[in-house]
Each structure stands twice: as structure tokens, then as C-alpha cells.
């Protein structure tokens, strides 16, 4: 074989394993048809968080109106977009250079698997002992009249200026995060959702708070509406739903989910089952062809399709190729919606608690009120904590500015099966929101 391992895709689902195996003296190549580093690095979570910072600062400053702050800044989107390009655009070429420096062969183009050990890129064949498919997902597209007028998240994250009127189709994480940005800039924002609620996987109590806050800022929600047509007109675009709702807008963003990139890989000829949900794998992340693995968002799985999950799977696949025979065992996986404020979830959800009466206990911790000065006047910051019958923390949902950081600490408590005594062995910086929340938690956990 020319290589020990060929990776199809260069995102987090693959490159971590590629680096580990290259450092273990394996001969490795990565095939990429788009940008090195994949979606998250170039036009996903990294680009989003690069743009997010000023919006969160405005959110925090607004709470201090009348308490030392007299006015809050406005956001210059073109200048902010220029900053995003400064920090994001160099990432792909830098990663490409670093991989090449490490000795990882980089192949540019689309790969097709022609037999269990061979791929074809353009007209050239390459062989390897193992193949790893990490081709990720792409935005789903609505098959409606005028679908060509629908933009996706990649395009939104590259907008030279923020349109005056923005309509989102879908009320998931992408729509809610981007809507928070647009409305903060004073834009007219509509969210059209097929179902009866937003952010279906998050705690409905906290979702309702986010929705109310966005509505107070001016976002208009339209639930139980299916978009059937988009037409261009002299004043922009008209979005029409099955119930006859019509909206005039300057920009339409489709946020109706994502589908796995499984086409044109040659999977069907190899007997590998794949749908829009992804590729079926076993508990070693192997396809029915034992030397072919799948990693990251392209897997059909119950676990959240998130960057850290893909990284975890990538590291696991490297260990299997190096001799680990243990099945994959996922720890608790936190998920965050970068709304204003953030929503975060980990472990046993409120929905699971409600579906299993008597199995769990919940407790609401209004830490924003209890830690008012440490938590910088975010009086509505709150956590809903889920405990098992022995009193151990097994799940949490948060509504808070720094829920993205707090959820990581809570995830460690859940994964480590920590007690109050364990927390008391830690020293946290004070005064800080973290130390206050950890003190509250210590009072709820079992002592042994």
C-alpha cells in the first residue's frame, strides 16, 4: 500500500487522527476538495465566534445602563467582517503548511472509493491499509420555487454588510444566533418555523426566555408555517408560506438542518449504508468494510454532531488503528447555543426527566440573583440541575452569559461523578461567577 491511512476530509473529524498517526510513524494522506480545516475552521463555529464578541459586549453593557454606563456602542458590520477575514482567512493555508511540514501528504480534489483499499482523486489512484471518511455535513436545501434565492450560513458569515431586512427559515441554533446579531444592529428580523417552537433540543423554559427577549428587541416569530415559495420583486424578495403568510425581505437564510456529505464517495458499491443522516457504523466506528471508518458529522448517530464530538471520534479512530480494541465510550457531551445570553445543555435533559417520572430530581439554581455583583447584574442567569436518585449530578441546562464556560465545568463534575467533598478539594479564583456557582453546586451534591 502507498499509505497506512487515507483521510477523506480535513476537518476536525480527521486531522487530529492524521496528526497522531503521523507522529506514530504512519504514512498518512489527507484528501480535501474544499478548504483545509473543514467547515468549523473556515466558515462555521470559528467564523461565528470571531463575529460574536462585540455583540456579547453590547449585551453586557446594556445591563449597566444607569449604573455607570450612559451609552452603548454600535456595531460596524463591514469593519467587523474585515476583522473576521483577518483572523479566519489565514487558518486554512496555515494548516495546509503545517500538515505538509509534518510529512502529511495533502491531496486536493474529490475522492471516490473504488475498492476497500483504493481511492481515486481526479484520475489518480491511491491505496492504503485504512480509509477514514470525515466529509461532514452541508446545509439542507428546500425544494421550493425560488430556492436559488435562499442563502446558507456560510454565505451569511461572509456578508459584506448586514441587510436591512432578514428572514430566517428555521428556528434552530443557526437562525437564533444570527437573528440575535441582526436585531442587535436594529435590523428587521423574521423567523419562520415549520414546528411550534424554537431550539427543539434545549430546555423549553430557557428557550422561551430567549424568544421573549428577541421579541422585545423586535424579532417576529412565525411558528407552524412552511415556506412554499420565494419570489423576487422590485422591493427585494417575497417569502410565502402554506398558510398564506407573506413577508417582504432583503435576504433569506435557510436554516432547516444539515445533511451528510455521502454522495459520490462510492459507498453503495461497497455495501456501506448511508443516507442523508449519515453513514452507519459499529461501536468501533467501522463501516461494514472493516478497514473503512467514518468520523464526525458524517456518522448516523444519536450523539450531538458537534466539533468536539468529531475531535473525540478522530482521536478514538487513531487509537484503534494503533491497536486499541475497546469500543468507543462517549462521555457527557455539552451543547451550546451562542444566543444572547447563551443556552447550554449537558447530560440528562429536562425532556428525559419528564419522560421518566420518579427517576430523577431537578433543582433550579437562580445564581444570577444570588451572585448579583459577581455575575455583573445578569439577574436572570439560571441553571436547572438534574440529579439521580443517589444525589449525583447527571444533567444540567443553563441560561447565562458565560454558559459556554460554566457548562464545561459542570460536564467535568458529571463525567467525574464528583461529590461535594471533591469540589471542596478545589480552589477557584474569587470573586468570580465560577467560584460562586461551584459553591452553590457543592451545597447540592452528596458528601460521599
Q: What is the pLDDT of residue 392?
A: 96
Q: What is the pLDDT of residue 203?
A: 97
DSSP bridge partners of 243: none
Nearest to 441 by CA among 424, 404, 403, 427: 424
Query: CB–CB of 333/304 below 8 Å?
Result: yes
Q: Is 442 helix (H, G, I), strand (E, B) or coil?
A: helix
pLDDT at 96 over 80: yes
Q: What is the pLDDT of residue 154?
A: 96
Per-domain residue ranges of the chain: 3-137+259-321, 147-256, 341-442
Q: What is the pLDDT of residue 375?
A: 67
Query: CB–CB of 47/157 below 8 Å?
Result: yes
What topology is assigned to 341-442 in CATH? Enolase-like; domain 1 (3.30.390)
Nearest to 51 by CA among 338, 249, 310: 338
pLDDT at 344 over 80: yes
- Average the pLDDT over 278-305 and give the result: 97
Nearest to 165 by CA among 79, 74, 95, 233: 233
Evaluate if pTM is beyond 0.75.
Answer: yes
Maximum Cα interatomic distance, the chain, rounded to a whole number of Å:
70
- Cα(38)–Cα(40) distance, integer angstroms: 6
**Which has the higher per-residue pLDDT, 247 or 65?**
247
Q: What is the pLDDT of residue 436?
A: 84
- Average the pLDDT over 45-73 and give the result: 92
**Residue percentage of the chain with pLDDT more than 90:** 89
Q: What is the pLDDT of residue 373?
A: 64
Q: What is the pLDDT of residue 201?
A: 94
DSSP bridge partners of 83: none
Q: Cβ atoms within 10 A of the Cβ of 107, count? A: 19
Q: pLDDT tens digits for 183-235?
A: 999 999 999 999 999 999 999 999 999 999 999 999 999 999 999 999 999 99
Report the mean per-residue pLDDT for the chain.
Answer: 95
Q: Kindly indicate the confidence band of residue 340, based on its pLDDT and cuts at 50, 70 and 90.
A: very high
Q: What is the pLDDT of residue 368?
A: 86
- Cα(123)–Cα(337) distance, integer angstroms: 43
- Average the pLDDT over 294-305 and give the result: 97
Torsion of CA 177, 180, 182, 183, to 10 degrees: 160
Nearest to 231 by CA among 301, 312, 168, 148: 148
- Cα(18)–Cα(15) distance, integer angstroms: 5
Q: Is 326 helix (H, G, I), strand (E, B) or coil?
A: coil
- Average the pLDDT over 132-140 and give the result: 97
Pick the CATH number of 147-256 from 3.30.70.120, 3.40.50.360, 3.50.50.60, 3.30.70.360: 3.50.50.60
Domains 3-137+259-321 and 147-256 share a fold: yes
Q: pLDDT tens digits for 149-195?
A: 999 999 999 999 999 999 999 999 999 999 999 999 999 999 999 99
Q: Kindly indicate the confidence band of residue 433, based on its pLDDT and cuts at 50, 70 and 90.
A: confident
**Residue percentage of the chain with pLDDT more than 70:** 99
Cα distances (Å, whole numbers) of residue 114 to 5, 13, 104, 197, 294: 15, 22, 22, 44, 16
- Please give, one letter per residue, the 3-state secondary structure of 225-291: CCEEEEEEECCEEEEEECCCCEEEECEEEECCCEEECCCCCCCHHHCCCEECCEECCCCCCECCCCC
Which superfamily is assigned to 3-137+259-321 in CATH?
FAD/NAD(P)-binding domain (3.50.50.60)
- Cα(391)–Cα(370) distance, integer angstroms: 22
Q: pLDDT tens digits for 372-394?
A: 666 677 889 999 999 999 999 99
Q: What is the pLDDT of residue 147?
A: 96
Q: What is the DSSP letter of 107?
A: E
Amino acid at each position: 500500500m502507498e499509505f497506512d491511512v487515507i483521510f477523506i476530509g480535513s476537518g476536525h473529524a480527521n486531522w487530529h487522527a492524521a496528526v497522531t498517526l503521523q507522529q506514530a510513524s504512519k504514512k498518512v494522506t489527507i484528501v480535501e476538495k474544499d478548504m483545509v480545516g473543514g467547515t468549523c475552521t473556515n466558515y462555521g463555529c470559528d467564523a461565528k465566534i470571531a463575529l460574536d464578541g462585540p455583540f456579547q459586549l453590547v449585551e453586557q453593557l446594556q445591563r449597566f445602563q444607569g449604573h455607570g454606563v450612559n451609552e452603548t456602542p454600535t456595531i460596524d458590520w463591514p469593519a467587523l467582517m474585515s476583522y473576521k477575514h483577518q483572523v479566519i482567512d489565514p487558518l486554512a493555508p496555515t494548516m495546509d503548511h503545517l500538515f505538509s511540514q509534518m510529512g502529511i501528504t495533502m491531496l486536493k480534489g474529490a475522492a471516490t472509493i473504488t475498492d476497500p483499499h483504493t481511492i481515486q482523486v481526479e484520475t489518480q489512484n491511491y491505496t492504503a491499509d485504512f480509509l477514514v471518511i470525515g466529509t461532514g455535513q452541508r446545509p439542507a436545501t428546500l425544494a421550493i420555487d425560488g430556492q436559488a434565492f435562499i442563502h446558507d450560513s456560510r454565505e451569511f458569515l461572509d456578508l459584506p454588510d448586514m441587510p436591512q431586512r432578514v428572514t430566517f427559515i428555521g428556528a434552530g441554533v443557526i437562525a437564533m444566533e444570527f437573528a440575535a446579531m441582526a436585531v442587535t444592529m436594529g435590523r428587521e428580523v423574521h423567523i419562520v418555523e415549520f414546528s411550534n417552537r424554537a431550539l427543539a433540543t434545549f430546555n423549553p423554559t430557557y428557550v422561551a426566555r430567549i424568544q421573549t427577549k428577541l421579541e422585545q428587541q423586535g424579532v417576529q416569530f412565525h411558528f407552524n408555517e412552511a415556506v412554499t415559495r420565494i419570489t423576487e420583486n422590485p422591493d427585494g424578495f417575497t417569502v410565502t408560506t402554506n398558510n398564506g403568510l407573506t413577508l417582504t425581505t432583503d435576504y433569506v437564510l435557510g436554516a432547516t438542518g444539515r445533511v451528510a456529505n455521502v454522495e459520490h464517495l462510492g459507498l453503495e458499491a461497497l455495501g456501506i449504508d448511508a443516507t442523508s443522516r449519515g453513514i452507519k457504523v459499529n461501536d468501533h466506528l467501522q463501516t461494514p468494510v472493516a478497514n473503512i471508518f467514518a468520523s464526525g458529522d458524517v456518522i448516523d448517530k444519536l450523539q450531538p454532531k458537534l466539533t468536539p464530538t468529531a475531535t473525540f471520534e478522530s482521536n478514538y479512530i487513531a487509537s484503534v488503528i494503533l491497536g486499541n480494541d475497546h469500543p468507543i465510550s462517549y462521555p457527557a457531551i455539552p451543547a451550546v447555543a451562542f444566543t444572547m445570553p447563551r443556552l447550554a445543555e449537558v447530560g440528562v435533559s429536562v425532556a428525559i426527566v419528564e419522560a421518566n417520572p420518579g427517576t430523577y430530581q431537578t433543582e433550579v439554581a437562580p445564581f444570577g440573583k444570588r451572585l448579583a455583583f459577581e455575575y455583573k447584574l445578569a439577574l436572570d442567569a439560571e441553571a436547572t440541575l438534574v440529579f439521580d436518585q443517589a444525589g449525583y449530578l447527571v444533567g444540567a441546562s443553563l441560561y447565562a452569559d458565560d454558559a459556554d464556560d460554566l457548562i464545561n465545568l459542570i460536564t467535568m463534575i458529571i463525567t467525574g461523578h464528583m461529590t461535594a467533598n471533591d469540589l471542596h478539594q478545589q480552589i477557584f479564583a474569587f470573586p468570580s461567577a465560577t467560584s460562586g456557582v461551584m459553591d452553590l453546586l457543592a451545597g447540592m451534591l452528596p458528601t460521599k
